[in-house]
Structure 1
Amino acid sequence: MTKHNEHKNIPELRFPEFKDDGEWEEKTLGEVAERIEEKVNGKKLTTASISAGTGFVSQAEKFSRDISGAQYKNYIVLNEGEFSYNKGNSKRFPQGCIYKLKEFKQVAVPNAFISFRFKPNFVGDFFQGYFDNNYHGIQLMQFITSGARMDGLLNIKADEFFSVVLPAPSESEQQKIAEILLSLNEMITANTEKLEVLKDYKKGLMQVLFPQEGEKVPKFRFPEIKDYGEWEEKPLKEVFSIFQGFAFSSDDSVSSGARWLKIADVGVQQMKDDVPSYLPQIYIEKFRKFTVKKGDYVLALTRPILNMRLKLAQVDDKFHDALLNQRVGKIVTSNNSSFVYYLLQMSKMVETINKNIAGKEPPNLSFLQIEDIKVFLPSEINEQQRIAETLSSLDELIVAQSDKIEQLKIHKKGLMQKLFPAIK
């Protein structure tokens, strides 16, 4: 931002037709929007809540009925295009969330939410740029909630909420910015839907590439393999083993050196690099047998299941030659390792593992608990390889699509920082 714009309500990036329009005018939210207080009064509506990072979600199908009961009498009617603020904070969104209703035509929301609609001549989709979970959204929500926390909980009064100041340009400039943001959101939504289609396709493909319960051969076999006969039933202990990491001490931790692979680094089908940890570089030689290589598969052995999906991932470049910590296991097999990786992702397998580790806190997985689980697998290694290659190529498309969505979100965040002036 130039020095000329540094202390003014002028964005860094402006469309040519508005460059001479001067500063944006400061308006309170109460000047541009009005609170919604219409009660349900026995209307048959779906009750909805705000899910941080998602938007509005139906609380449950069972509430899609007459909610005239006493417990619902104070619920507020919200129409499509109107907004609500849920001050119920979460770890990811400690200041709460503001979203526009677009998932339903009309819903009932708890009166604990602060609900509002924009007045004529003010474009709601423009102001959504202030509310979004980005640079400006974080700034705004921190400002709204500053000093509003009591006993660890948010206590925000409506008049304070509506007193927040939001710089705004003319209606035509608001509309222009809103169109850009809507276009980006549509691109993100379309690519997210494509990602979900790929994931669903993979799920369906796995169901035909592996035998289902009660079957000894899969529904689909590649032409060059169709005459190979039935798959062999074996206990897991004859399919693979788990090599556990070393109990390194937290006192060994250093700021840089050899990568230390911990439980937190193992996600669902992907490695996580959020909080890197390191051990002294000399440990690479001292504990050589506990290193992992790119292409190895590692499994979290404490809390190994998240949303009924196994925390199992392939080691990538960042963790090549990393030192394996205790409670993280490396898959060791004479079979095709990628085939075993996909075998362990099968929903029936995850259900069985989950059942075997249930009842413990935290849930810990040991190979003894699962070594006798029976599975079917091809006796010919080339059939294992063919299945693994097919699913691996699909995973590459899924990763590429996920990366594309992330890049679009980064682009949107950067663009919004330039399209809106900083909140004072």
Structure 2
Amino acid sequence: MSFSRTSTVSTEPRSRFRAWLGVAAITASLFVFVTTELMPVGLLTPLSAGLSVSVGVAGMMVTLYGISAGAGVPFLVAWSRRVDRRALLATLLAVMAAGNLVTAVSPNFPVVLAARLVTGFAHGVFWAIGVAMAMRLVPGEKAGKAAAVVLSGMSIATVVGMPLGTFIESLTGWRATFLIWSGLSVAVLLAVVLTLPSLPSRSAIPVREVFALPIRNGRLRGVMTTVALYVLGHFGAYTFIRPFMEQRAGASAAWVTGLLIVFGIGGALGNFAAGHTAGRNPRATFVVACTLLVVSLLLLLVIGGSLAGLAVAVVLWGTSFGAANLCQVNMMLAAAPDTFEAAMSLNTMGYNISIALGALLGGLFAGGFGPAGAVWFGVALTVTALLTAFGKRRAPRARRP
């Protein structure tokens, strides 16, 4: 299966500059979605005080957002299968703008939770359609690069978005911060409308067929299993990276912040590095990235007792995770080229569930064996993902109908 056939939707002449402007608009969309998801993490203390709830209860803003971002995606993508993707993305950004606006002016915490629930659904749908849209805007041989550019929006949100939101809150307050992000959502919406061409849906299918895909398509089932395993491993360890840094290396809060920023930068570099090979051979590139992910976690355990060793391990971890994230998109495309959006909706659901389960199981290991236990859990699950990827070497390609 050629990527050039599956990733380009139109034969009409379109300037290269305008196409990449569209990719940039989709990248900005991901930046807005991810920063909106993570914003409460840096604002929990003022949020909880302003809404008269405990910090633990305020954390439900992140939890509920993540659940809705995963649970409803296959249904929403299938139900919107006849909607032009540019119009759908604009609608999702409008929902995001409205959700941030409601959060900014909400009189109480239940209203905030309701707004987060709705915006979480929009976030999940974006993950199912956004990368595919970017890959369709450019010539087939550039599809992998377009995917890498879009996924860099997640790393940029981690490196820039969260600290920026915290800084704005310190100057204006948490309500004004969400209000500003609502305006940013509107600005990105306008960019999408102005730069993206019409993109009719071509690979979405009815709900009843979405959940049958892994049953009929063994290669897709294998990719989904591999992705779930490495996401479980990564987030099982990453959730407890701060206590590991503090206990093992005596890292200060400033060091932790700096290393997390470095992790995000490494993720962006990993995206771009894998972009050169993931389109041609996603499985082999994933195997390399996942191997480096295992090595980085082992380095964390072996040399993470010093700040210098910690920095080396974190840089390699971020870079390999960024590369693996890009590869899993290309692996999904290779496994289900004719039902890519539907497959990505299932992948989004599995990805978010794996994040939640990874944090839960990692917490059990951290509780029993300390933060290093969570890292060992990450090693075990990532090695299992690597073995699964190796085992799928001879899996048959999905047949075109």
More strand by proportion, 1 or 2? 1
How would you bin the TM-score normalised by the shorter chain? under 0.3
Q: Which has the higher contact order (CA 8 A, sep 6+)?
A: 2
More helix by proportion, 1 or 2? 2
